[in-house]
Structure 1
Amino acid sequence: MTLTVSVLGATGSIGRSTADLLDQHRDRFRVGAVAGGRDAAALARVARELGAGFAALADPEGGPALRDALAGSGIPCGAGPSAVIEAATRDADLVVAAVSGAAGLAPTSAAIRLGRTVALANKESLVCAGDAFMRDARRFGARILPMDSEHNALAQAIGEGRIDDVTRMTITASGGPFRTATREAIAAASAREAAAHPTWSMGMKINIDSATLMNKGLELIEAHHLFAVEAGRLDCVVHPQSIVHALVTWRDGAVTAGLYLPDMRVPIAHCLGLGARLGIARGRPLDLAATGSLTFERPDEARFPCLRIARAALAAGGAQPTVMNAANEIAVAAYIAGRIGFYDIAALVEDACEAFAARCPAAPADVEEALAIDAQVRRWSTDGLAARAG
Structure 2
Amino acid sequence: MTRSLTILGATGSIGRSTADVVLAHRDEFRVEAVVGGRDAEALAKVARKLGARFAALADEKAGSDLKGALSGTGIAGGAGSSAVIEAAERDAELVLAAISGTAGLRPTHAALKPGRRLALANKESLVCAGAAFMADANRLGVTIMPVDSEHNALDQALAAGRNGDVEKAVITASGGPFRTWTRERIAQASPAEASAHPVWSMGNKINIDSATLMNKGLELIEAHHLFGLEPDRLDVLVHPESIVHGLVQWSDGAVTAGLALPDMKVPIANALRHHERLPMDLPRLDLAAIGRLTFEQPDETRFPCLALARAALRAGGAMPVVLNAANEIAVEAFMTGRIGFYGISECVETVCSTFLKRNNMTVPATVLDALAIDEEARDMARQVLSGPAEAKPLLGAGKRR
Q: What are the residue-to-residue correspondences of 1:23-42 with 2, within 5 Å?
A: 23-42=23-42
- Three-state SS of the structure 2 residue aligned to 1:34 is strand
* 1:157–1:256 contact (8 Å) kept in structure 2: yes
Give yes or no for the alignment of 1:266 onto 2:266. Answer: yes
* 2:246–2:258 contact (8 Å) kept in structure 1: yes
Q: How many residues align?
A: 389
**What residue number does 1:305 align with?**
304
Paired amino acid for 1:165: D
- Three-state SS of the structure 2 residue aligned to 1:216 is helix
**What residue number does 2:123 align with?**
123
Question: Once the two structures are superposed, what CA deviation does each residue of 1:12-54 show, in whole Å capped at 9, x if it has no partner?
Answer: 1000000001011001100010001111111111001001111
Q: What are the residue-to-residue correspondences of 1:44-63 with 2, within 5 Å?
A: 44-63=44-63
Displacement after TM superposition at 1:115 (Å): 4.4
**What residue number does 2:109 align with?**
109
Q: Percent identity at matched positions? A: 65
* TM-score (norm: length of structure 2): 0.95
* TM-score (norm: length of structure 1): 0.98
Displacement after TM superposition at 1:116 (Å): 2.1
CA distance in 1: counterparts of 2:340 and 2:303, whole angstroms: 13
Question: Once the two structures are superposed, what CA deviation does each residue of 1:233-262 show, in whole Å capped at 9, x if it has no partner?
Answer: 000010000000011010000000000000
Q: What are the residue-to-residue correspondences of 1:17-28 with 2, within 5 Å?
A: 17-28=17-28
Unaligned runs of at least 5 residues, structure 2: 392-401
* 2:160–2:256 contact (8 Å) kept in structure 1: no
- Three-state SS of the structure 1 residue aligned to 2:128 is helix
Q: Sort the Cα spacing of 1:88 and 1:332 in 2 relative to 1 into closer, same or farther, 3 A.
A: same
* 1:322–1:373 contact (8 Å) kept in structure 2: yes
RMSD, matched Cα: 1.0
Q: Sort the Cα spacing of 1:62 and 1:354 in 2 relative to 1 into closer, same or farther, 3 A.
A: same
- Three-state SS of the structure 1 residue aligned to 2:246 is strand
CA distance in 1: counterparts of 2:116 and 2:60, whole angstroms: 26
Q: What are the residue-to-residue correspondences of 1:57-136 with 2, within 5 Å?
A: 57-136=57-136
**What residue number does 1:332 align with?**
331
CA distance in 2: counterparts of 1:257 and 1:383, whole angstroms: 44
CA distance in 1: counterparts of 2:316 and 2:360, whole angstroms: 11
Displacement after TM superposition at 1:159 (Å): 1.4
CA distance in 2: counterparts of 1:229 and 1:275, whole angstroms: 21
**What residue number does 1:253 align with?**
253
**What residue number does 2:362 align with?**
362
**What residue number does 1:341 align with?**
340
Question: Once the two structures are superposed, what CA deviation does each residue of 1:176-205 show, in whole Å capped at 9, x if it has no partner?
Answer: 000000111111111111010000000110
CA distance in 2: counterparts of 1:320 and 1:243, whole angstroms: 32
* 1:113–1:136 contact (8 Å) kept in structure 2: no
Displacement after TM superposition at 1:158 (Å): 1.3
CA distance in 2: counterparts of 1:388 and 1:244, whole angstroms: 46
CA distance in 2: counterparts of 1:106 and 1:115, whole angstroms: 19
